[in-house]
A and B are shown apart, each in its own frame.
Chain A
């Protein structure tokens, strides 16, 4: 019992389930939803870097998701670029735009920053919606190709596409873990803790907030680009603010500033949404209270609650062990 329930085994189990999923699921639809979960999760990990770890809320995130989607869409459909090249271009563009937007918007902070970025997000949405000749306007872009083949591997079937997205998700989680456990991650956490305190120990909060913002934008655009090639049709609504809020909800429910939160929250909410489809818009009657309860009782989300419980359990076990040890020593002495 003690050796089995370790963190590593848990991760391994989840990984095995994820890998076997295409053979377990009853129909293609479920696999399709799980592939979407991978894409959303990557984007939510982006929000997590900036909001969860650095403690700033940007509402332009969904705008960058749309930028990624449209960059890939336009480059592959209109300019006939190779998918991988277009994916790279989407990433690079998001970094450049992220720096520009960040340089201006990060001059503000707190609520003003959030409002500012909401405006940026809406402007991006409007540009996509109105710039007919480039983006196709409300008609959107149709016929975005699947990822092109790498040597013998093709991504034309749903299963192979799912595996590709799963790989990217695992890579994202791995990168996040590396960032968080490095000095850079602790720098972000220090800024979240108190910007002023971070400054007084010599951290340039300007530079590090910008870096965190750009990393977050990159993840968003990357996820957006993957989304475009997965659903193969995009319209301006990929940049709609409500979608941004939805991702934020995934993160809040999963756990802000945790490593597993984004993926837990996304799986849970997406599955719940799908299974409550029959309720139509009344499903919000179920979501609202759940969200409220979690925010009130588990501000660290589900991942945070799990961490808390396991810590408590561990603490109790070491205490029990100590008591046992004492009892045995007493017996021996006696």
Chain B
């Protein structure tokens, strides 16, 4: 089962004259949970934007199941199974929770049965969403919004799920829950690429990691290697 699934080769992204990413190489195998570590502005979100088609890489190649996908429009990528759960818990605040989830299953809108099963699955992962399913998304707390954002991304049945800082601005207890759920989603078979600043929590659940600084990958290795790496401990874990 561990055929190579997703591979970025020598990718660069420019914002006008400014080079945001340079020579990025990332590969993610089937069912892995890979974490991108980096401080604010290191380029984690830019990598995600490039993968999901919102920014066009100026150089390099992105391959998904042996198919070249860079340059494809975002909606086509979602259909292929590359789904991003954006940073900052972007929701549709005027819609109810169940409507938000249904929008997440947009690419499967013709398959009502599958939508229903997915919705049940999301409710099972996040029971609080079921309790509040008719409430407006804007009325929820930060943690619940994050759950909804992840649930909505799951509705499109991703093969590769990208989570951009799911722990951002959440209380420590909620962060712990969030990571448990991410781990569970991964165990159920979804390949996950996770961008995080919270290195210790992320590395505990991840298989491997990449450390990004100033738009370049500086260190890569298994979670244990990274956890034991002196510099990373100093820079990101603080112990």
Contact = CB atoms under 8 A, between A and B. Distances in A.
Contacts of A200: 52, 54, 74, 78, 83-84, 86
A218 to B, nearest CB: 23
Interface stretch (B33-41, B99-107, B140-148): B99-107
Interface string B153-172: 10010000000000000000
A205 B74 CA distance: 9
Interface stretch (A10-18, A109-117, A140-148, A189-197): A189-197
Interface in B92-146: 92-95, 99, 102-104, 106-107, 109
B166 to A, nearest CB: 15
Contacts of B68: none
B54 A199 contact: yes
Nearest to B99: A186
Given A197-B86, A201-B106, A190 B75 contact: no
A201 B95 contact: no
Given A200-B84, A200-B86, A203-B106, A190 B78 contact: no
A203 B79 CA distance: 10
Nearest to A200: B84
A186 B103 contact: yes
Nearest to B86: A200
Interface string A166-200: 00000000000000000100110110011011011
Nearest to A207: B75
A186 B86 contact: no
A193 B153 CA distance: 17
A204 interface: yes
Size bin of chain B's contact surface:
20 to 34
A201 B103 contact: yes
A201 B104 contact: yes
A201 B78 contact: yes
Contact of A202 (B75, B86, B102): B75
A202 B102 CA distance: 12
Contacts of B5: none
Contacts of B102: 183, 186
Given A196-B54, A199-B75, A204-B73, A187 B106 contact: yes
B77 to A, nearest CB: 8
B90 interface: yes
Given A197-B86, A199-B54, A189 B106 contact: no
A183 B92 CA distance: 14
Instruction: List the 10 shortest-distance A-B pairs measured between CB atoms, nearest first.
Output: A202-B78, A199-B74, A202-B107, A204-B75, A197-B90, A202-B106, A202-B75, A200-B84, A193-B92, A201-B106
Given A186-B102, A200-B78, A201-B104, 13 more contacts: A186-B95, A186-B103, A189-B95, A190-B92, A193-B93, A197-B90, A199-B53, A200-B52, A202-B74, A202-B79, A202-B83, A202-B156, A203-B106
Interface of A: 183, 186-187, 189-190, 193-194, 196-197, 199-206
10 contacts: A186-B92, A187-B103, A190-B103, A199-B53, A199-B74, A200-B83, A201-B78, A201-B106, A202-B106, A202-B156
